[in-house]
């Protein structure tokens, strides 16, 4: 007997039953919420005691879509949602009406160069050739929002490459930037699952000046590597002056709360070319071993 003569499945697909259930004859029994199929019942799925199921779904959906897109590894970009590109920075300075506003606007303008560096780095990463099996490495992955995130997705788009945007539902968070590849524009409810997907496929991470969110991502990443929960990978921090002003890494060593070797977990850089060279140098020995 040939395989072609044996049916691939014997049960109706869920999609068919879902359509049948939606067309049920209206009766007191069929219109009551209790009659809804569980996977079509939002009131049921959004109950507090269904949180473990929602966790699993949120993990699985992104995993499935990235697998289908043949994303083998990613180059993750973290950074502020407030740093503008140069042309917009001038407008912010011009709009300042107080000394404090102008001082902050000038600082943002000074950091606007990192928008272009993020864009350039994304272009470099996105030019990596497709693997023999059709999968891709160093696919650009950002938080999907504005500023540095936009620059990363925009850089990939510049060279015709797909890129990932991992958005999260927040009260005041803007929509995904226009450069995220639609089929890789993913939205999350849980910060924990979003953070997991940032790092599951990450093989290099670029961290640009940023605030609480950027610090959260950076220090969790450093902790995972420091504790051995995650293998070491290239981490580049753009803007040595910024990072040394806002975090006294040397003081952490002097206070005895981290090891001097922990300062080797990351590199300070100023340009996309510096960052890409560090990534290449990190993986070049591994590529020689594989060959």
3-state DSSP assignment of residue 4: helix
DSSP alpha helices (H): ranges in 145-211?
148-158, 191-200
Whole-angstrom distance, CA of residue 128 vs CA of residue 160: 12
The token pair that represents 190 in the structure block: 């849980």
Determine the pLDDT at residue 3.
Answer: 64
Is residue 153 within 8 A of residue 176, CB to CB? The reply is: no
**Helix, strand, coil content of the chain in percent (nearest 5):** 55, 10, 35
Sheet holding 164-168, edge to edge: 185-188, 164-168, 139-142, 74-78, 202-207, 235-238, 267-269
Q: What is the mean pLDDT of each run of 10 residues along the chain (291 residues)?
A: 76 92 90 93 96 97 98 98 89 90 91 96 97 97 97 98 96 87 97 97 98 97 98 98 97 97 98 98 73 49
pTM of the model as a whole: 0.92
Closest listed residue to residue 128, CA positions, set 77, 74, 76: 74
The CATH number corresponding to 68-85+114-290 among 3.40.50.450, 3.40.50.720, 3.10.180.10, 3.30.420.40 equals 3.40.50.450
Tokens 């950091």 -> residue:
111
The token pair that represents 175 in the structure block: 């929509």
Whole-angstrom distance, CA of residue 76 vs CA of residue 99: 36
Cα of 162 vs its chain's centroid, Å = 13
Start-to-end Cα distance in the chain:
44
**In this structure, what are the phi and psi dihedrals at residue 164, rounded to the nearest 5 degrees?**
-105, 145
Determine the pLDDT at residue 4.
Answer: 72
Burial 148-176 (b: 16+ CB within 10 A, else e): bbbbbbbbbbeeebbbbbbbbeeeeeeeb
207 DSSP β-pair partners: 78, 237
Helix (H), strand (E), coil (C) string for 80-128: CCCCCCHHHHHHHHHHCCCHHHHHHHHHHHHHCHHHHHHHHHHHHHHCC
Closest listed residue to residue 272, CA positions, set 165, 140, 88: 140
Is residue 129 within 8 A of residue 287, CB to CB? The reply is: no
Q: Could you state, in order of their start, the residue ranges of all structural domains in the chain?
A: 68-85+114-290
Determine the pLDDT at residue 285.
Answer: 72
Determine the pLDDT at residue 269.
Answer: 98
Q: Which residues contact 235 (CB under 8 A, 6 or more apart)?
A: 204, 205, 207, 218, 221, 222, 225, 265, 266, 267
């Amino acid at each position: 007997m040939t395989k072609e003569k044996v049916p691939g499945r014997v049960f109706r697909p869920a999609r068919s039953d879902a359509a049948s259930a939606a067309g049920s004859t209206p009766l007191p029994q069929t219109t009551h919420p209790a009659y809804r199929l569980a996977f079509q019942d939002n009131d049921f799925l959004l109950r507090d005691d269904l949180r473990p199921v929602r966790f699993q779904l949120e993990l699985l959906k992104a995993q499935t879509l990235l697998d289908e897109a043949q994303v083998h590894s990613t180059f993750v970009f973290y950074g502020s949602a407030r740093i503008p590109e140069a042309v917009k920075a001038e407008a912010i300075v011009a709009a300042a009406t107080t000394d404090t506003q102008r001082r902050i606007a000038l600082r943002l303008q000074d950091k606007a160069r990192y928008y272009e560096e993020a864009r350039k780095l994304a272009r470099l990463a996105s030019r990596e050739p497709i693997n023999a099996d059709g999968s891709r490495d160093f696919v650009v992955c950002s938080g999907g929002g504005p500023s540095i995130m936009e620059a990363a997705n925009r850089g990939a788009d510049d060279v015709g490459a797909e890129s990932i945007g991992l958005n999260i539902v927040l009260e005041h968070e803007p929509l995904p930037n226009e450069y995220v590849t639609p089929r890789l524009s993913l939205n999350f409810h849980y910060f924990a699952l979003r953070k997991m997907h940032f790092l599951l496929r990450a093989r290099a991470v670029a961290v640009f000046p940023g605030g609480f969110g950027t610090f959260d991502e950076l220090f969790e990443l450093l902790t995972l590597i420091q504790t051995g929960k995650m293998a070491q990978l290239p981490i580049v921090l753009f803007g040595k002056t910024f990072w040394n002003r806002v975090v006294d890494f040397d003081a952490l060593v002097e206070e005895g709360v981290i090891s001097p070797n922990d300062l080797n977990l990351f590199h300070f850089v100023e340009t996309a070319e510096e960052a890409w060279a560090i990534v290449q140098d990190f993986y070049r020995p591994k590529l020689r071993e594989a060959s």
